[in-house]
Structures are given as C-alpha cells and as structure tokens.
Structure 1
C-alpha cells in the first residue's frame, strides 16, 4: 500500500517507470543512457574549458554558448539521479517533495534553454545587421543582464507549478510514466479538478516557447533581409554560415517539443513506447548534440580544440 499524508492526500512516494514490461532488460537499457550522460557532460564541460582558456573566444557569441552549455549540464544533472537509479539499480521510488523539486528544475532548465536560444538569435542579429556596433551593444554587463533576465523569467514562470500540484489530492495512483517527474505526469494522477493546472501550464508553455520561437523567427527574417542586400555572394555565404550552428540548435530543441506536443494531443493510436522514447529524446539528445554541433560547425571552436589537445600532446 502507498502511504498518504492524511491532511493533504499526497503519496509519500511516487513510483517511477522506465519502459513498462522491459524491467528484465533495464541493465542493457542503462547503457545508452550512460553513454548519453557521459557525452553530454564531457562535451559541455569541454566547451566551457575551451572558452575559459582561450581569451580570443571571450566574445558575446561564445559567452552565450557557455550559458547554453551550463544550462545543458543542469538539465542533464536534473534527470541523472532518477534515470540511472531506475535503469541501473531498479530504484523506482522518489519522495513526493523530491519529485516536486526535480519537476521544478527540469522545466526551469527547459524554459531557460529556450530563452538562451533567443539571446543567441539576438547576438546573430546584431552581428550581421549592425556589425560596427556589435561590441558596443553586447557588452559584458549587458550579456550578464540578459543571462539574469532569462534565469528570472524562466524560474518565475515555473515557480507556481509545485504549489499547483500540492493543492491537488493525488489518489488515482502513484505511478508516473517516466523515470523522472514532469508537471503533466503528476497532474494526471489527481482526483480533483485540474483546470487551473491545465490553463496555467498552457499559458506558461505558450508564453515561453511561443513567444521565444516568434522572436527567433523575426530575428532570422531580419537577418535574411540584411544578408540578401549584400552584393557579394561570398559575403552572403559567410554571414549565413555564422548562423548555421544556432539554427541547428534551435531545430534540435524545438522539433522534439513540437513532436511530443502533437503526439500527446493527436497521437492516441501511437504506441506508448514511442511516446516514452520521444519524451526521452526531448530531454536527452539536445545536451548531447549542442556541443557537437558548435564544435563541428564553428571554426574558432575547432581551432581552439586543436590548440588545446596539441598542447597536451606536446
């Protein structure tokens, strides 16, 4: 029997689920998750070390990249304890308040990722449309201010989520759908009206992802107009090439979000295991591929990596 708090009707613990029915294969399923975590940690730490060590990279574009790397590390660390506990050690219980805390951090880092991508779009907008004032506009104090604004906006949007869950009596079950805690997953276990949670969740999602994606699109419309006005074909390609890494990062972040949202809304006939896989892709692939994309597509990062490893070999 699950223990409940008699005054608030909250379970003492939630039961995490990895892939239902595949418990015997969890030790094999843990392998790709371990690889993803190690790759994400190593890649993002490498980006941070390279930018920190090379003063030539102390520029706005790379400082925003460091923000993205720190955020991806935070997102990975938010899910790591319960995911590895579930698949490696079959530890599936998580305390109610610990689940609330994990939910807060997962959603906060996800919202912050969106905000950082907007800041990086603004960086590209200034660099291409107003290059002569690039350094004057994106000063270090202003970059810090942008980072703090993203942090405050994201955490303030997520702050009501734990309280909205705590006000609900959880009595249908205590079994979650994933190896980590999400607001929508916890909300579905309530045996009370969840209208407020649904409305605020939709508002927070649209206000964050909707507005952020709109700002990114508008930035690239302006960038494209500026690039097309450049007479030289080579200069147009050079300008667009500086945006490739950011465009890939935006697509990598938003496409899984849209896919998961569409699947949850319209994919009732989609197998449950596919829905679970898409949710894992949404949280795990982005922190792994972001440093890879920027390392491969950004010439300065590639050169810095080469200089770093060549010094170590010598």
Structure 2
C-alpha cells in the first residue's frame, strides 16, 4: 500500500514536470506565424491587394476597392491629336476607386524628353498657360479628356465658323477665330474629373496657327518632386484646383452631400527604369516611359500621400 502510494507520488511529480514542456511543444506545433501561413497559402498574402498589369509587364498593386474600366483607345483623341504634345502611347490602363472617389491612369509611352534634363522638365510642366505642353495640357490631352461627342461638336462648329470666315462674301476676314464648346459630362468619375480639369474645349486660330486645348480653372502647381522606388525614377507634378464643388455638381455626379465644398487634386508622374533616360544611351535604346495620372477629391485638398503610396506600388519588368 505504501509502495503504491510512493509510485503514485512519483508519477504525479514527473507528470507535473513533463506536462508544461509537452504543452508548450504542442502549442508551438499548432500555432503558425503569419509569414509561415502566407508561405503555405500564398493567396493569403495577396488577400489585401490585387495586381493590374499592362501587356508588356508594367504593373501596380492596389487595394481590392480598385476596379479596371473597359479597354479604351490609346490617347489622344483624333480630334486632339494634331494639337497634343508629340508623344506616342504604347499601352494604357484606366482604374477607378468609387469608395474614395479616385481615378488612376497608367500608360507606357515613347520618350519626348530626350535631350533635356530635370530643370527643363520642371520648367515645361510649370510653363505659362497656352504653351500646349504643360502639366494641365498633359492631363487634358491624354488622361482626362472631354467626352468624344463634345470634341466632335466643337470641331464641327470650328470648321463651320472657319469656312464662313474664309468665305469670299465677307467684306473682311478676321485673322483670329475662337470657338468654345462646353461639355455635358456623364455622371461618372471619369466625367467628374474631365469636367473639373476643363469644362469644355477651345478651338482657336491665330495668325494662321490652329490650336485646340482646355479651359483650365485656377490651379496651384506644386513644386516638382523626384521619387525613387522599385528601381524606377519618377518626376511628380501636382495641380490643385482652387475652386470648390457646388451642390449642383455634387448632385449631378452622385456624390455624398458632405462633398459640397470639396476640391479636386490632380497628379502626373513620368518615370522609367533608373537612371531616367534624358539622354540616348547605346546600351539602353528606346527605353519606354511610364506615365501615371491620378485625380482625387475631398475636403482636404492635398491627396499627395494617397498618390505617393500608389506610385510606390508601380513596377516595371
């Protein structure tokens, strides 16, 4: 009886020492770190983001709230092409995030900045309005253009006025001609930012030179920034709209009532694999540029942080 009791006591003591170690070992085996879980289940690592890619490999990782619009023709519109900066678009993708009322455009293009430098690029984008190749112009011609029917109507009205001005029946011919066409924008994010950038299109002829361009509001152009990310060099430009949304605009574009008084913020970044190809390099011929445009709206004007986070998710093959 005493022997059995002693054996029981020994077993209890040993069990008391062993159980914590066994329990700890079982706990370590059953628990899995987030990194290991992602390793065994790769989909879990991508659950909070999704990737959109162009055919040649340029891609961006964004939150699941972003959606891709149906495929669009490469910009610029044929009505604007004769007047737009001379650059050829190779690929183009349009994304939107209805949750935060934002639009994003990503494209690859030829390089119109060969032979220049950072100073020249900065001066061009901050140049005087009317030059046709500044920041607002790039946004207008390539990323947030007026609706096609508006461009068609404006072009036809301009051609008609030009024919009348050149008619031999007129006693005097004015050397200048200006036809403004205000647009009716669809109640979409694309329509919203096209209208905030320019309410319409202006066709002009002066001293034999024809031009079609935007009708821009009062923009504040922020200083240029240089960003290095994922082996890419980007130059970033920002145009802050000083005007505020009125209630009619909020209602037309189906925005929440609290967006009355909000302002639009536009960004454009141009980049390439580092170093940026300002000069022709025999070892890196025909390096395509990556152009990224973004438009956001809110009561807090500066959307810089959102755009910078998106830009740092862009990758090139």
TM-score by length of 1: 0.25
What TM-score, normalized by structure 2, do the two folds share? 0.25
Larger gyration radius, structure 1 or structure 2: 2
Higher strand share: 2
Identify the structure with bigger relative contact order (alpha carbons < 8 Å, sequence gap 6+): 1
Structure whose residues are more often helix by fraction:
1
